[in-house]
Structure 1
């Protein structure tokens, strides 16, 4: 299993813009809250919104969209002791979702037929999501170990693409556990397991958007796990833009795979307001649950 690390440092104006008074203290002590990130779609541990991130930086291991969630959320956490942890699993590239000529021809006729969907699942989508189970396991282990050593801490989780899928699945497995009870906020950006969600919805995708694995699982009964909405929806933000190839999967996205892939990779862009809007709306719900642990 991949090793999981935690990082902690003083968050300065060079990391957060505008400047924040958030205190991120050395890893030896327990923090009031840990922000736990799971990157996705081919992102490397050192990928950053403003360039390469070095190990030891609190944003290391997050990936660009998850970093944006963190910087938006921590703008108003003055004086709260925050730690950061990241999921070290390997996230496959969204290039695997490029449709085959057979699938393209099916889509041009206005539908996604069973034969084409089966081929697409085995040749592209299954390799794309193959890392999700590993990421799920690493995340569960990370949270379980941390709550044992820091029983009063809280967790805010964020995941992008396969990282969102790993987080989606981990939430279900953590139900009824001490680690699960410590989760106070979740941001799922471009969740490929999105399904008839009752979570808080943000972005330009329709509220009933389905993820790529959800859609194909609805057609192919052999696809596991079966579709299920995320649990504890009151603390979850599902963030997805229209025709994103991962979280709003369907014929329109497949017809224009270039644009759909570009949409999927745009959540960290300064002009995209899906993440800032979600964080602004969820912030008070989350922060009120850590105020007593300052």
Structure 2
């Protein structure tokens, strides 16, 4: 391949200046960080979202990459999140084609720039949707190679106020930084903050050396990064290594002996430098592998430092309250400069805020569903705000047991609303609740039904001990259909009618996409890796527990390695973690059959705490408002988001045999069953 024949040109090269690459060690480190959460257009609001675009030819979930981010951009995400402990950090990979320009440059160049245009459109669409959904969310744009060109051009569209329906004055204050790694749109003396060994004067990217090809819809901008009042140019982080054939194209082209060598040496610098060493590299790639990782990390950490300059409200949910019952909730913020001053609007009657501590207290006097406006101001006047729902329910209590399933052994119940529930039992029966009465048991399966999940009143999935699944369409059940020939299915959770996960007794997971179930995938190969419970509030987040007290999480693509959460189960001296419920991606609660309870908040599990000793907790359910109820033995207790109530005996039937399952649609409605077939309603 001879690059000279395709119209490559080299811009005039000014005199070289000494390198101004910052010392990578200058960014201070922190001992712990945030766990980034895969975020979609409709996901819950985050404090900051890291939006990444992979380089040419990088594939989905390739080694060293998370999803569509690509290797170098993932290096940046890891460093960025590591310095944001306590923040809600989301990430999103732009799903554009990232078409390659090499090796057939004459034919691929137009397609290459069309790919960049697609990436720009996708990025802008995501930004607009998130800005509308989450008015206080901040963003980082990160890209490698072609992806850096995408983000470079998106930035100039923002800066030049060329985004329809979204103004630069709205977005720029919320743009914490741009991370351009190996940027083909790099220009001479472009400004910003520079990392790596490439010169900052007389250094040009590939797009300026390919005559006549600067883009089809969105053109490259030959301009310095502007220093704006609401956006200092130092927030643009450029990482480029000397002789990189993409970001330092003119140097590589002029200094390397032949165009053919440019296609090997210069490309090796570009493809290997910005990511850790990998298996299967060429000898040239091994020479440069990982050389710029420290620069990528330092640039990302500097952006994290910008994120930390302004306060952010990290409280994601206000716990529900009950009329006449003492209420307490503590608002939390991070970043900016303390001390903080808090203010709220639209608090339900009977509640008040301590503006210094951020604690809401009182006894609600009226039932309400309020949208509470919360604002925090730091010591220098910087503010952050968020609106959170707060439900205050009328005084509720557990009703007396009512026999509705004489055959006994109800195994699972699911209530998406207070006017609809489905329960299934060990004899293949299903029962429905219409808000006032339960139906008679109806046989829908010849096997034992172990679990049911209903995201809506018109869609439910039940699973049995023979690996079959059944669906409910709002009026009738389908026949049993085999989905797992490897084992019986112990638990199922559906985030919607187009996404469900079921777990079996051999450590396998199967997923439903709205049409078909996947083949079983081994996710827990541990000894006796029976999966006992799973909960999926969204298609991008699930938590499952096995019989050894291990928890696994699902990020929309992959399951994590099992991690020991309940050591009592692991020692087999106490109980097993039997039930988990996650009303959101930031909060879960779990209980085991030895009376211990655990909570998951912002990516961290608490230690097991004794709740009902020496009782048994068989089931837990959490409503979207962070209200939870657990049931076991003859007792139940509730969680208001931070504190559990004292377990109270609710099953007065001496032949009840113990509470087996519960489901809560809201803070003022739950349904629980005992072994004998009684239902107990919390309302």
Same fold (TM over 0.5): yes
User: Which structure 2 segments of 5+ residues have no match?
Assistant: 1-29, 162-166, 278-289, 312-334, 337-383, 386-683
Moved more, 281-290 or 254-263: 281-290
Aligned to 1:83: 90
- For residues 244 and 46 of structure 2, the distance between their equivalents in structure 1, rounded to whole angstroms, comes to 36
- For residues 38 and 128 of structure 1, the distance between their equivalents in structure 2, rounded to whole angstroms, comes to 14
| 1:69 and 2:98 matched | no
Q: 1:245 to 1:143 in 2, by over 3 A?
A: same
Question: Which of 226, 245, 262 is the equivalent residue of 2:268?
Answer: 262
Query: Is the helix fraction higher in 1 or 2?
Result: 1
> 2:153, 2:221 within 8 Å by CA — same for their partners in 1?
no
- For residues 242 and 143 of structure 1, the distance between their equivalents in structure 2, rounded to whole angstroms, comes to 33
Q: Quick one: higher RCO (CA 8 Å, sep 6+), 1 or 2?
A: 1
Listed one character per residue, the Cα deviations across residues 84-109 of structure 1 (whole Å, up to 9, x for unaligned) are: 1110101123533x7xxxxxxxxxxx
> 1:204, 1:242 within 8 Å by CA — same for their partners in 2?
yes
Aligned to 1:3: none
Count of matched residue positions in the alignment of Structure 1 and Structure 2? 243
- For residues 77 and 26 of structure 1, the distance between their equivalents in structure 2, rounded to whole angstroms, comes to 16
> 1:23, 1:79 within 8 Å by CA — same for their partners in 2?
no
- For residues 133 and 164 of structure 1, the distance between their equivalents in structure 2, rounded to whole angstroms, comes to 12
Aligned to 2:57: 42
Aligned to 2:305: 284
What is the aligned-residue RMSD (CA, Å)? 2.6
For the residue of structure 2 that corresponds to 1:238, the secondary structure is: strand
For the residue of structure 2 that corresponds to 1:131, the secondary structure is: helix
Listed one character per residue, the Cα deviations across residues 31-69 of structure 1 (whole Å, up to 9, x for unaligned) are: 1111111111201121231xxx6xxxxx32111000000
Q: Show the 5 A alignment for 1:122-201.
A: 122-175=106-159, 176=161, 177=167, 178-196=170-188, 197-201=190-194
- For residues 38 and 301 of structure 2, the distance between their equivalents in structure 1, rounded to whole angstroms, comes to 28
- For residues 247 and 235 of structure 1, the distance between their equivalents in structure 2, rounded to whole angstroms, comes to 19
- For residues 249 and 113 of structure 2, the distance between their equivalents in structure 1, rounded to whole angstroms, comes to 14
For the residue of structure 2 that corresponds to 1:155, the secondary structure is: strand
**TM superposition shift of 1:223:** 4.2
Question: Which of 209, 213, 220 is the equivalent residue of 2:207?
Answer: 213
Query: Is the strand fraction higher in 1 or 2?
Result: 2
User: Which structure 1 segments of 5+ residues have no match?
Assistant: 1-17, 54-58, 99-119
For the residue of structure 2 that corresponds to 1:185, the secondary structure is: strand
Aligned to 2:48: 33
For the residue of structure 1 that corresponds to 2:76, the secondary structure is: helix
For the residue of structure 2 that corresponds to 1:216, the secondary structure is: coil
- For residues 249 and 124 of structure 1, the distance between their equivalents in structure 2, rounded to whole angstroms, comes to 18
**TM superposition shift of 1:285:** 2.9
- For residues 79 and 262 of structure 1, the distance between their equivalents in structure 2, rounded to whole angstroms, comes to 38
For the residue of structure 1 that corresponds to 2:209, the secondary structure is: helix
**TM superposition shift of 1:227:** 3.9
> TM-score under structure 2 normalisation?
0.33
> 1:204, 1:241 within 8 Å by CA — same for their partners in 2?
yes
**TM superposition shift of 1:21:** 3.9
> 1:24, 1:82 within 8 Å by CA — same for their partners in 2?
yes
